[in-house]
Structure 1
Amino acid sequence: MKPVRIVGGGLTGILAAFQAHRLGARQIELHERLDRLGGVALPKLENGREMREGCIYFGPEGDPIRTLLEEHGAIFEDFDNRFGSVSPGAYGPVYLDDFGGPALPATKTDLQPLSGNSLGDRLDCYEDALAFPLARYVRWHVGCAPSKLHADAAIPLAINRVFPTGIPLDTLSASKRADGHANELFGIPRSMWNYSSNVQASLPVGGFTSLIDKCREALDAIGVEVNERSLARPNKLLSEIAPDEVLVWAASPMPLFKAVGLEAPKAPAKKFATYTFEVDWTGAKPFYVQNFTTDGSCFRVYIYESRGATLLTAECVAETESDELAKDIRFLLDGFEGELKICDQLYRSIKPRWLYHTVDTVNKLGELRTALGARLGDNFVAGAWEAYAKGAKFAEVEADLQKAFGVRMIAKAS
């Protein structure tokens, strides 16, 4: 079996090591530039409490990622997956339970065919009553026109499906059942649709810090050579990689462009602010709310428990004063069951996010894959750079590893 070298010790890199081992690899090296594994999945700790930037969940029992992690000692606890959204309405904000996307007035389910690969092209499929507020939301959230972003940016922006509130539910249901294009672009709140696949979700017992610690123990137990504080230099690495060695690049692909003589893409120059508070909250936990009104600065609120404390993370499109942020948070939670008291601010972070890929980025990542494939063949495995959802990343890396090892498919992501 071919030896495997993995660059990047985030969750994708860790899972790639477990996947490679499951496929039969026994010589596996994992290189991480920081002093511990975890990447963006590893939250900062304040007095033992996790300051989570974004809401990362796992699936219920049977989810392929969860199953693989459980095979290596991780323990998960299920919870009722509760969420909601706030959208602009004709007479004020529209609060909606069981739906994490925008709910907007519409008059018809007719859609135009998708004519290109930009987010602008995707929004142009809708009638103007839906397309215009969605485009306004994109500009507020990311700071650029939808035409600049790739269509898949709809997923991290949470606008991949829209609930058209002016359409009779039976008409909308029939349209979704009969037309795959409509099913992809329109959504219905879970409770109205009898949709049950995401009713349950799970989180690691003890939090993400405990999960990563268990993963590190498991990697050691199966003989993976973990190298922390190991900065992979692409030119050197590509020149020394053995002909029969599999290279998995689960880190940022940006350093690879120069190494193969390609121009690197430029991500949108946008920084986001994240604030974490200790709170008293009588509603559901965990719970998150997406904001599509473009009012204020907060686009998502996430409430969760860590070490016996209830914490609230507010993700914002820009820095904001504490009084204004508290007002934004209360506005987003006002239409949902639960009483809120905001206590101490525990954490603040200002940084860009590698989530909202431009059309140029996706095109150039394709060129990079082609160049590395020409150089290393099937022995090069990209870390599912473009994908946002964990399941999609997992499935892509699994398929590419199987191709590298010449084995048949043995697992699927849900």
Structure 2
Amino acid sequence: MSERVRIIGGGLTGILAAFEAHRLGWRDITIQERFEALGGVARPRLRHGKEMRDGCIYFGGPDSQGRGDPIVEMLTAHGASFETFDNRFGSVSLGADGHRVFTWDFGGPAVDCAVTRIGRPAGDSLASRIAAYPAPIAAQLEAYCRWHLETDLETVHGEAAIPLAINRVFPAAADLNDLARLKATNPWADELYAIPRGLSGRTANLTATLPVGGFSALFDACHRALLTLGVKVELNALVSPRALLAAPQAHETLVWAANPTPLFKPLGLATPNLLKKSFATYVFEVDFDGPCPVYVQNFTAQGAAFRVYLYESGGQKLAVAECVREADLARLPTEMRVLMSGFGSLKVGALLHTDVQPRWIYHTQAAIDGLKALRGELAARFGASFIPGAWEPYAKAAKLAEVNAALLAAREGAPALAPMVAKAG
């Protein structure tokens, strides 16, 4: 059993790993974060007391049994404060004649298709997953993915459907009773099809939670809680993967909660080809007469914005437009108003913030294969003393469960559990 835990990366995964390590009995715990504050990519920039968020990040609300989001429960136990809100969202898709279709309380694409037969993908690629749908659905999904990613969909892993928000599709022209029976009797159809919440009578996801005071306040509270527990937090800490892997410390469990790409070369592995795609975000002051927070996904494959997310910060309603490319600022406010027009009246004010950053949430097939090889090499060399930071799953809860299981295995000296890959849905 190791005496120390060192965590590389002070984002949400690293913070949660530190809390769990302390719960399991470790007392010599260090977080090393390369930036000047904890939070990683989820920590927003502040402008005049307002958070410039780059996208839509929520935590779950209570489920039908009254159980809360496990991340919220863990952070609340360490002094963080959350507030619950009505979870409102929607999507805009294209109808059969090209008109826009607005769907409340469903964040995926709605396609005018009455056919619901479904096949099994011929492979693991996103292209194979899309081809499992009837032709009218497959055509719209392919157009959307090519607009969003601008790459060969055969090279993208099928699990990218989850961050793309196309893991479930509503065949809007289908008979709802027939669709419900199909979902109840065919697990694969249940994974690929959905019925919007308002049409199905489901009560899941009616509420969600956000940190009181915003994400900066959340991560500052986590920092204070970690220090109270005796966790050492080293900021502006640059860690050399080569030096760390060449001379691992005895009696130390290492959690790599950062980007795994720098680990390949020191282990003699080829770095896999990644999906090199940058997205632009624009934050505006807005007035809106609909619900807030709220987000709308754009599946029309038209314009620049694939999502508009409204939230409050610093006493002001703000909207972030997440775009597949740099947008024409003369046209973007109109595009945002059109996307929100099915849900409320949006008035777009001053532009507060612009950012262009790559996103590494869409895995290529090569990346999934490479991460598998990387995990194998790390396990062979270091056993349970090296814990990968749940690199593959997109869902936050899946990441937490995987890292927690590996920490428990390291604490008990047992073989680590196999990595969890989040399933669609």
TM > 0.5 between the two? yes
Would you say the 8 A contact 1:135–1:145 is kept in 2? no
**Structure 1 residue aligned with 2:65:** none
TM-superposed CA distance for 1:272, in Å, is 0.8
Tell me, what secondary structure is at the counterpart of 1:122? helix
Q: CA RMSD in A?
A: 1.7
**Structure 2 residue aligned with 1:172:** 179
**Structure 1 residue aligned with 2:320:** 313
1:238 to 232, 245, 257: 245
Answer with 45-54 or 396-405: which moved more: 396-405
1:204 to 193, 211, 216: 211
Q: Does 2:125 align with 1:115?
A: no
Q: Does 2:297 align with 1:290?
A: yes
Would you say the 8 A contact 2:285–2:352 is kept in 1? yes
TM-superposed CA distance for 1:243, in Å, is 4.0
Would you say the 8 A contact 2:275–2:360 is kept in 1? no
**Structure 1 residue aligned with 2:15:** 14
2:403 to 389, 394, 397: 397
Q: How does 1:26-105 map to 2 (within 5 A)?
A: 26-61=27-62, 62-91=68-97, 92-105=99-112
Q: Does 2:265 align with 1:264?
A: no
**Structure 2 residue aligned with 1:253:** 260
Answer with 111-120 or 349-358: which moved more: 111-120
**Structure 2 residue aligned with 1:138:** 145
TM-superposed CA distance for 1:139, in Å, is 0.5
Instruction: Give, in whole Å, the separation in 1 of the partners of 2:147 and 2:121.
Output: 24
Tell me, what secondary structure is at the counterpart of 2:60? coil
Tell me, what secondary structure is at the counterpart of 1:65? helix
Letter in 2 for 1:24: G
**Structure 2 residue aligned with 1:181:** 188
Q: How does 1:261-410 map to 2 (within 5 A)?
A: 261-336=268-343, 338-406=344-412
Would you say the 8 A contact 1:58–1:203 is kept in 2? yes
TM-superposed CA distance for 1:266, in Å, is 2.4
Tell me, what secondary structure is at the counterpart of 2:264? helix
Would you say the 8 A contact 1:44–1:52 is kept in 2? yes
Q: Which runs of 5+ in 2 are unaligned?
A: 63-67
TM-superposed CA distance for 1:137, in Å, is 0.6
TM-superposed CA distance for 1:407, in Å, is 8.1
Would you say the 8 A contact 1:119–1:151 is kept in 2? yes
Tell me, what secondary structure is at the counterpart of 2:189? helix
Answer with 374-383 or 232-241: which moved more: 232-241
Q: Which runs of 5+ in 1 are unaligned?
A: none
Letter in 2 for 1:38: G
Instruction: Give, in whole Å, the separation in 2 of the partners of 1:246 and 1:195.
Output: 43
Instruction: Give, in whole Å, the separation in 1 of the partners of 2:315 and 2:123.
Output: 48
Instruction: Give, in whole Å, the separation in 2 of the partners of 1:191 and 1:403.
Output: 42
Would you say the 8 A contact 2:241–2:266 is kept in 1? yes
Instruction: State the identity as a percent.
Output: 51
TM-score for both structures, normalised by structure 1: 0.96
Letter in 1 for 2:306: F
Per-residue deviation, residues 210-268 of structure 1 (Å, max 9, x unmatched): 00000000110111111111111112112332343211000000110011011112222
Q: Does 2:221 align with 1:214?
A: yes
TM-superposed CA distance for 1:117, in Å, is 1.2
Would you say the 8 A contact 2:307–2:322 is kept in 1? yes
Tell me, what secondary structure is at the counterpart of 1:56? coil
